[in-house]
Amino acid sequence: MGEAMDDKRIKVCIATMYGTENYGSNLQAIALSLALEKLGCNVFFLKKFRVWPYIIGHPALFFSRALNVFMKKRRRRFFSPVKYEISDERRKALSQFVKENYISKIYDNTGEWKKAIGEETVFVAGSDLIWNPYRGYPASYFLDFAYYAGLKRFSFASSVGTKTLPVKYHRAYRRYIGTMYSIAVREQNVADMLSEIIGRRVSRVADPVFLLTADEWAAFGEKASAEASVSGDYILCYFVMNDPGYWDYIRKVSEATVMQVVVLPMHDIDEKTPYKIIKTGTPYEFVKLIRDAEFICTDSYHATVLSLIFKKEFYLLRRKRKDEDDKFAEIIGRYGIDSRVVNRDKDFLRDKEIRYDEIYPIMEAERNSSMDYLKEALDI
């Protein structure tokens, strides 16, 4: 009975970053999959596409993959990924989390690919910086393989993480993005930039993490280990960047509040601080720690998103790096939270006032319009 029902559901394959050491990448992937499941879809994630007879049979596919191998070093001028320094214990916990939360698909033979085509699998270019030029010539994250099969393709909250896109890639953008059934990105400036390149309207939708409510994320966080159950009020510190200046600021915060500081570390310097360190944090612990904190100090986009969802007091430390400023500018402007942005070299001044009575109606409208976009893209 269950299998028969599954056969009738729309099969949706998400191409995005997932199963990484970055909490935000995992949460956006999980949120989009859960949102699609609520719409009645059978959802799984693309791990790899390497049907070589098919790739070789389409020279453009073979060219893009060969080019990306040879151009790997030169691509770094567009973006330099952050390298995390986490414990083996946490890597083991994250590996188990991935097994529990993702159904992954590797297309590596002609039979499997023909089956996907026959089942009219829908492919979605998911959220996060999947279209950053750092990743090279447009390939799998642009769903190029599905383009040649004539399958339905659309994007949801995709992003580029740069203010310009290489002219040499514009033709590929027009071919692979411009021919999608529907196109939606995460930032308005990206929508405007791509629209000009491909000659077609590009929509803007909310980051997938916004698709789930506070209650839904709270239920997700209940799966956290006992280590995430911290007694008493605490300040949660979570920093993506490796910046010693953050900890000078946190010292001021600690002295001003005389409150316990809890750290979810991503770098060696974080673990050397004189505060309570969470060793085995998975996305479950990440969500629970944010939900239960008195307030949060972070430089993370998705920690900010969750803070908003849980109506938390938070302080967003300004990063030295500017390559991802656009995504922060979008969320700061949309929700009017510029007062939450702080400089690490300034004194800490606590400010509890956040107008959630104004923020939440905007958030709910964004959630509803983004879900409507998914329904339209899937013809539901």
Q: How many degrees, rounded to 5, is the angle at CA 135 between CA 133 and CA 137? A: 70
**What are 293-335's pLDDT values in tens digits?**
999 999 999 999 999 999 999 999 999 877 667 889 999 999 9
CA 194 vs CA 160, 173, 324, 327, 362: distances in Å: 10, 8, 17, 16, 25
Burial class from Cβ neighbours inside 10 Å (0-12, 13-18, 19+) for residue 356 reads middle
The whole-number pLDDT of residue 76 equals: 56
pLDDT digit string (tens) for 128-169? 899 998 888 899 999 999 999 999 999 999 999 888 898 999
pLDDT in tens, 82-97: 788 888 888 999 999 9
Delineate the domains of the chain, giving CATH numbers in brackets. 2-211+364-377 (3.40.50), 220-349 (3.40.50.2000)
Cβ-in-10-Å burial (0-12, 13-18, 19+) of 317 comes to buried
Q: What number is the average pLDDT over the span 249-272?
A: 95
Per this entry, what is the length of the chain? 380
Please write the tens of the pLDDT for every residue from 267-289. 999 999 999 999 888 999 999 99
Determine if the pTM surpasses 0.75.
yes
* DSSP H or E run through 233: none
**What is the per-residue pLDDT across 328-360, written as a single tens digit (0 to 9) for each?**
999 999 999 999 999 988 999 999 999 999 999
Residue-wise pLDDT for 26-64, tens only, equals: 999 999 999 999 999 999 999 999 999 999 999 999 999
> Residue 145 in contact with residue 138, Cβ under 8 Å?
no
For the sheet with 104-107, list strands across it. 104-107, 42-49, 11-15, 122-125, 153-155
Question: What confidence score (pLDDT) does residue 162 get?
Answer: 85
At 80, the pLDDT band (50, 70, 90 cuts) reads: low
User: Measured between alpha carbons, how far is 370 from 364 in angstroms, rounded to an integer?
Assistant: 10
